[in-house]
Amino acid sequence: METFLLANRWIHITAGFIGFFVAPAALYVRKGGPAHRLWGRIFFWAMVVAGSTALVSATYHGLTFLLLTGVFSLYLAWFGYRSLYHKQLARGEAAPALADWLGVGLGTLVFAGTIGYGLLHARQNPVPIVFGAIGLMTTTRQIRAFRRKGPWPAGQWLLNHMSGFVGSYIAAVSAFSATSLAFIPFPLNFLWPTLVMVPALIWAQRRYRARLAHAPAAEVVEIRIQRAAARP
């Protein structure tokens, strides 16, 4: 068992290290281009591996909060990834898949439980309330979108994609900070990535929303992909 846990730990560290540096690369390159898709896929699978190994470790050691943080990161990575498949859904041309309903339902239960856990331990650790509230707002908004009649607001699937992947990255950086940056006092060691990155995400989404208000998101992304592919 000790050998398994040691291997699990190193796999977790390696995947987290990859995701930590790949995410900025995906954000830097042209959105929708081949490089963005490549780095995005690497980041997604790095988060899947890092989150899964975190669940194993947290379960074995009985660390409930870290278990919930791992689920939080995994859900947001899945949310960002699945959003790429919601283009027809966003245009009102398809219905949510069973995987979408199962994912959002499981996420809602986990985040509600995270808030409950945070309320029971609010004096010692208020962080679960923050993470749980963010997650629950995400799933609630997604349920409303799935039940919506007709098309979504322009580019909403793209904004969801941004929210999911950036949120997963925030969770990963928060976990790294809490476990490795001992010089930052609690609970700031958990919350500083949220305080730094969420305003930047909101700013970026507002810029995209303003652009997409005048053209369908799918058309904009297709144009960017074609331009990127035309480069030598």
Q: What are the extents of the domains in the chain? A: 2-230
Angle at 99 between CA 96 and CA 101, to 5 degrees: 60
Identify the band that residue 80 occupies on the pLDDT scale cut at 50, 70 and 90: very high
> Is the pLDDT assigned to residue 227 strictly greater than 50?
no
Query: Between these two residues, 74 and 224, which has the higher pLDDT value?
Result: 74
* Residues above pLDDT 70, as percent of the chain: 92
For 178-207, what is the mean pLDDT? 89
What pLDDT score does 219 carry? Answer: 47
For residue 219, give the amino acid letter.
E
CA–CA dist 8, 132 (Å, integer): 26
Q: Which two structure tokens, joined as six digits, stand for 180? A: 């490795």
Mean local confidence (pLDDT), 104-122: 88
Q: Can you give the pLDDT at residue 217?
A: 44
Q: What is the mean pLDDT of the chain?
A: 84
Q: Please tell me whether the overall predicted TM-score, pTM, comes out greater than 0.75 for this model.
A: yes
Helices marked H in 62-186 — which ranges?
Answer: 64-82, 87-90, 98-120, 127-147, 156-180
How confident is residue 196, by pLDDT bands cut at 50, 70 and 90?
Answer: very high
Contact by Cβ (8 Å): 171, 231: no
* pLDDT at position 140 over 90: yes
Residue/partner pairs of 216-220 with CB below 8 Å, 24 or more apart: 216/91, 216/154, 216/155, 217/87, 217/90, 217/154, 217/155, 217/156, 217/157, 217/158, 218/87, 218/91, 220/155
Instruction: Write down the pLDDT at residue 215.
Output: 59
Is residue 216 pLDDT above 70, yes or no?
no
CA dihedral sign of residues 161, 162, 167, 168: positive
- Sequence-distant (6+) residues with CB within 8 A of 224 are 30, 31, 32, 33
Does pLDDT of 218 surpass 60?
no
- Is 131:168 a contact under the CB 8 Å cutoff? no
Q: Look at residue 82 and tell me whether its pLDDT is greater than 70.
A: yes
- The mean per-residue pLDDT over the stretch 163-181 comes to 88
Q: Is the dihedral of CA 125, 131, 136, 139 positive or negative?
A: negative
Mean pLDDT of 104-128: 86
Give the residue, 20 or 223, on which the prediction is more confident: 20
User: Shortest CA distance to 204 belongs to which of 174, 177, 173, 167?
Assistant: 167
How many CB atoms within 10 Å of residue 96?
17
Tokens of 148: 């919506």
- Both tokens assigned to 153: 């607001």
User: What per-residue confidence (pLDDT) applies to 127?
Assistant: 83
Nearest Cα neighbor of 72 from 181, 187, 158, 194 is: 194
Which range has highest mean pLDDT (47-51, 71-75, 122-126, 152-156)? 47-51
- Note whether 55 and 71 are within 8 A (CB): yes
Q: What are phi and psi of 134, to 5 degrees?
A: -65, -45
Q: What is the pLDDT of residue 7?
A: 93
Residue 122 has pLDDT above 80, yes or no: no
> DSSP code of 1?
-
